[in-house]
Structures are given as C-alpha cells and as structure tokens.
C-alpha cells in the first residue's frame, strides 16, 4: 500500500515556464466576494516580501482583477519571445493580472470559462516568474471554473480561506473549504476579516458584521492574539 498521497490530478498538471522555480503556491479563497481577499493577498505578499522572501501574485480573478490597482501598478505587461514578463511593484513583488493586458482598466473581459482558463494557463505557463519562495493565487469568488482549473493545472501547496463574522459569509466560505477538500488542497488557515473597527471619533469598538466567531472546538484552528 502506498503511504504517500497519490496526485489524482497528475495527468492534468501544466508545467510552468522553464525558468520558474516556485517553492510554495498558496491560494487565497473566500467563496464570497468583498471579504477583502485581494487586500489580504496584497498585505500577505508585502509581509512575506518584508521578511526577505521572493514573492509573486497571480491575479486569478480575470473578470474582476484588483491586484495591480492595490499596488498602484499601471501599464501593460511586456511580451518577450518565449513568454511574458511579470509586472513589478515598486517594492519588487512580481505580479500578473488581466488588467496588464487591457488598453483601459475599465474594459470588461466578457468571457466564458474556456477563454478564462486559457488566460490562466498563460499566466502560469508563459510568465517568467523566475525563482520565487511563494506564489500567491488571488482567486475570484465562487467554486466555478477558475478554482477548478487552477487546482487541476497547478499543484497548490495550500489554501488560505477568508471569512467575516456574517453568518451568510460563513455558509458560502464553508463551500470553499469543502471544495478544497474535494480537490486535495489542504486548508492552511482561516483569516477572519472585518471583525471590528474603531470609531475615529470616540475610539469605541464597532462590530459591524456581528460578533467575531470563536473557532469551533476540535476544528484545529487557533487564534493569534
């Protein structure tokens, strides 16, 4: 009997650009939009970069890309003979996003799944990521084409799941966690965003989306205090 877990998607894996040497790939996912996925991805990338790691972000939200905007990166990506050069943030984080291919950032990508998947494949297999300690994948909301394709194409090291205290969000986020399990992608951790804000006038704490949720007993989750 094999003790190593078999890669069920081995046949569907796509090789990265030959000069890409990527140690870890972490997907940031939430199931539901507007939980601050792209902001947390950008902050995490900056934190890892500040620790001296080489970091890249693949913005997998083809129809609603946010990453270039968050870093103030503008302009198109450079196409070279054998691939595409990633854009660089002023700090030196590499990134690739649909917005790096548009004449104007408000132009919509009115695309069906196969077109979107084709673009993701380019972002993975044609981009000169070079040596990276971590590549973060900023996933779009939902459990549709994009996460299915990425989890089949790329052996993702783990999933970072974003949530907020809203019960509605928890239900949709639970869908994302269960999808990770179905696709053999381990959940590395859960970030609860929008837990509270401090009033700029009286400094009192406001729990805008209801009280923060303690992790369920036995879930294995811990809270950084």
List contacts with a copy of itself (CB under 8 A). 31-35, 38, 61-66, 69-70, 105-114, 116, 140-145, 147-148, 167-168, 171-172, 174-176, 178-179, 182-183, 197, 199-202, 204, 206, 208
CB of 16 to a copy of itself, least distance (A): 23
Give the number of C-alpha atoms closer than 13 A to the C-alpha of residue 155, restricted to the C-beta side: 13
Four-CA torsion 122, 111, 31, 51, nearest 10 degrees:
30
Q: Which is nearer to a copy of itself, 31 or 86 (CB)?
A: 31
CB of 26 to a copy of itself, least distance (A): 20
Q: Which residue has the tokens 């792209």?
A: 38
Question: In whole angstroms, how far apart are CA 167 and each of 21, 98, 174?
Answer: 40, 32, 11
Q: Which is nearer to a copy of itself, 174 or 214 (CB)?
A: 174
CB 41 within 8 A of CB 28: yes
CB of 102 to a copy of itself, least distance (A): 10
Q: Which is nearer to a copy of itself, 91 or 113 (CB)?
A: 113
CB of 43 to a copy of itself, least distance (A): 14
Q: Which is nearer to a copy of itself, 142 or 158 (CB)?
A: 142
């Amino acid at each position: 009997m094999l003790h190593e877990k078999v890669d069920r998607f081995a046949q569907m894996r796509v090789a990265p650009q030959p000069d890409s040497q990527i140690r870890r790939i972490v997907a940031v996912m939430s199931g539901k939009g507007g939980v601050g996925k792209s902001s947390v991805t950008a902050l995490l990338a900056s934190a890892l970069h500040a620790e001296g790691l080489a970091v890249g972000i693949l913005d997998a939200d083809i129809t609603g890309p946010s990453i270039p905007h968050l870093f103030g990166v503008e302009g198109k990506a450079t196409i070279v003979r054998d691939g595409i050069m990633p854009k660089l943030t002023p700090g030196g984080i590499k990134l690739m996003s649909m917005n790096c291919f548009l004449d104007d950032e408000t132009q919509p990508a009115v695309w069906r799944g196969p077109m979107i998947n084709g673009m993701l494949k380019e972002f993975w297999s044609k981009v000169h990521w070079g040596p990276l300690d971590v590549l973060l994948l900023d996933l779009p909301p939902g459990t549709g084409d994009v996460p299915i394709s990425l989890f089949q194409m790329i052996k993702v090291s783990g999933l970072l799941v974003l949530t907020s205290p809203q019960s509605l969000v928890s239900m949709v986020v639970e869908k994302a966690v269960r999808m990770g399990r179905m696709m053999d992608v381990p959940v590395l951790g859960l970030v609860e965003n929008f837990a509270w804000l401090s009033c700029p006038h009286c400094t009192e704490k406001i729990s805008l989306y209801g009280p923060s949720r303690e992790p369920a007993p036995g879930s294995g989750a811990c809270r950084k205090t």
